[in-house]
């Protein structure tokens, strides 16, 4: 069914009414506080109740099939939901509190999973009842991920997994982990990899958090010592995990470009308003620093162009599960936009952008410092800036392969 403008506006009124009734007033505009919680249980009771209501409604995953607990909405209807979530100062806490569940694992299960796997895993993700992590990179297999050595050996009714992963975000609090493992050591390295979904609540798994300069520890080292994975928890075919893993990375890069909506919380203070507050204006109401005015204008244009490109690419990709290099372009563009914004914000704050803690700085000022530090990782995680450029060069520009084949 094609939505008309009238039907969408009717739907918008329904969404607005439900949000006004269901979203706790105490949480309005506080997305940053709640989304910083690693699990929904760590948040306050109002956030817990809100996450439960949103999950039961299906609007935490608005376009996922209703038979698995999603909203069953069209892309246009989902856009309305996300617009209204943002308008009211609300947010979708399950994007964060399911770990990689909504942004990466869930969409991949929907594409490659068996019916039993979908029934087993997707409803729990939709309701925010499970936290997912991902085991991809290893100490000796980062950019060259296909060199991974974590192995899974067939033990009859299950797989036995041994090896080490690193940069496994949220592994220490996760319930499940999607892990790339080597199941055929004699095959060409990309052909001998499978994707296993592993229950993290077992004695054969150890996690060690890694401290970052931004003050948080979202990443872990993860060790598998005779860990168990059930036979029916392989996602996709045996030794075809490289394809599954690449598709999941496309979903990851999409989530890192701003293509995944629903973070909400209302619009944050614009750089222009921040500059007017901290730098000052002339007698015509313009920023007194002409050079800063020019650079802010350029950043705003870059961010707007990025947003419009995201919308176009999303429209072109609807219903197409083919792995595309477009996400690599957008991932790098998003990194530049976010990092440039953070740099400008700190410049605008001046000495107020030097704080780490203490009463001399506001929460927003301290948050800007942490955002600047944390943002440095954007050009590394999810495939480094350089690796994305290699993908773009090979798959879009058609340039010769410049990395080792395997």
| Tens digits of residue pLDDT in 174-213 | 999 999 999 999 999 899 999 999 999 999 999 999 887 7
Rounded CA-CA distance 201/3 in Å is: 45
Tokens of 235: 């996602």
- State the pLDDT at residue 373: 86
Angle at 101 between CA 52 and CA 140, to 5 degrees: 150
Cβ–Cβ < 8 Å for 351, 366: no
Q: Which residues make up the CATH 1.20.140.10 domain(s) of the chain?
A: 268-395
- State the pLDDT at residue 77: 92
Q: Which residues make up the CATH 2.40.110.10 domain(s) of the chain?
A: 132-239
Residue of 233, 252, 365, 371 with catalytic role: 252
- State the pLDDT at residue 307: 80
**Fold (topology level) of 5-126:** Butyryl-Coa Dehydrogenase, subunit A; domain 1 (1.10.540)
- State the pLDDT at residue 334: 85
Q: Which residues make up the CATH 1.10.540.10 domain(s) of the chain?
A: 5-126
DSSP state of 172: G
- State the pLDDT at residue 206: 97
Q: Is 400 helix (H, G, I), strand (E, B) or coil?
A: coil
Superfamily of domain 132-239: Butyryl-CoA Dehydrogenase, subunit A, domain 2 (2.40.110.10)
Residue stretches of the chain with pLDDT short of 50: 1, 38-40, 259-267, 404-406
What's the pLDDT tens digit per position in 134-178?
999 999 988 788 999 999 999 999 999 999 999 899 999 999 999
Distances (CA, A) of 200 to 10, 180, 208, 227: 44, 15, 13, 9
Active site residue 252: yes
Q: Count other C-beta atoms under 10 Å from residue 205's C-beta.
A: 21
- State the pLDDT at residue 405: 47
Greatest pairwise CA separation for the chain in angstroms:
79
Q: Report the DSSP beta bridge partners of residue 222.
A: 165, 207
Contacts of 102 (CB under 8 A, 6+ apart): 60, 61, 94, 95, 125, 260
Rounded CA-CA distance 374/102 in Å is: 22
- State the pLDDT at residue 32: 60
- State the pLDDT at residue 33: 59
What's the pLDDT tens digit per position in 376-392?
878 877 677 888 888 88
Instruction: Kindly report the CATH number that applies to the domain delimited by 268-395.
Output: 1.20.140.10
């Amino acid at each position: 069914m094609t939505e008309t403008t009238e039907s969408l506006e009717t739907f918008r009124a329904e969404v607005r009414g439900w949000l006004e009734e269901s979203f706790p007033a105490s949480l309005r505009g506080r997305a940053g506080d709640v989304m910083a919680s690693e699990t929904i249980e760590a948040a306050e009771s109002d956030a817990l109740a809100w996450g439960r209501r949103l999950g039961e409604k299906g609007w935490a995953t608005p376009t996922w099939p209703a038979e698995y607990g999603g909203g069953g909405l069209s892309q246009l209807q989902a856009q309305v939901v996300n617009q209204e979530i943002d308008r009211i100062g609300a947010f979708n806490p399950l994007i964060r509190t399911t770990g990689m569940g909504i942004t990466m694992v869930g969409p991949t299960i929907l594409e490659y999973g068996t019916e039993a796997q979908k029934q087993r895993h997707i409803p729990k993700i939709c309701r925010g009842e499970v936290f997912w992590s991902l085991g991809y990179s290893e100490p000796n297999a980062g950019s060259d991920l296909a060199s991974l050595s974590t192995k899974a050996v067939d033990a009859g009714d299950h797989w036995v997994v041994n090896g080490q992963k690193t940069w496994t975000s949220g592994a220490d609090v996760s319930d499940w982990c999607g892990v790339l493992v080597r199941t055929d050591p004699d095959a060409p390295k990309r052909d001998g990899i499978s994707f296993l979904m592993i229950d993290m609540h077992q004695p054969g798994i150890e996690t060690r958090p890694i401290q970052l300069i931004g003050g948080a520890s979202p990443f872990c080292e993860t060790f598998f010592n005779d860990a168990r994975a059930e036979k029916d928890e392989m996602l996709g075919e045996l030794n075809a995990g490289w394809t599954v893993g690449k598709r999941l990375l496309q979903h990851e890069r999409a989530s890192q470009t701003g293509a995944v909506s629903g973070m909400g919380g209302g619009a944050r203070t614009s750089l222009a308003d921040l500059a007017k507050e901290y730098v000052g204006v002339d007698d015509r109401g313009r920023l007194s620093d002409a050079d800063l005015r020019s650079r802010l204008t350029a950043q705003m244009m870059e961010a707007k162009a990025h947003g419009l490109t995201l919308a176009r690419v999303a429209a072109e990709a609807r219903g197409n599960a083919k792995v595309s290099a477009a996400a690599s372009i957008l991932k790098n563009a998003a990194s530049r936009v976010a990092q440039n914004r953070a740099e400008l914000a700190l410049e605008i704050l001046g000495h107020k952008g030097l704080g780490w803690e203490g009463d001399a700085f506001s929460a927003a000022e301290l948050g800007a410092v942490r955002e600047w530090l944390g943002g440095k990782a954007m050009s590394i995680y999810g495939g480094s800036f350089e690796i994305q450029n290699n993908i773009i060069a090979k798959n879009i520009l058609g340039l010769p392969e410049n990395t080792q084949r395997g």
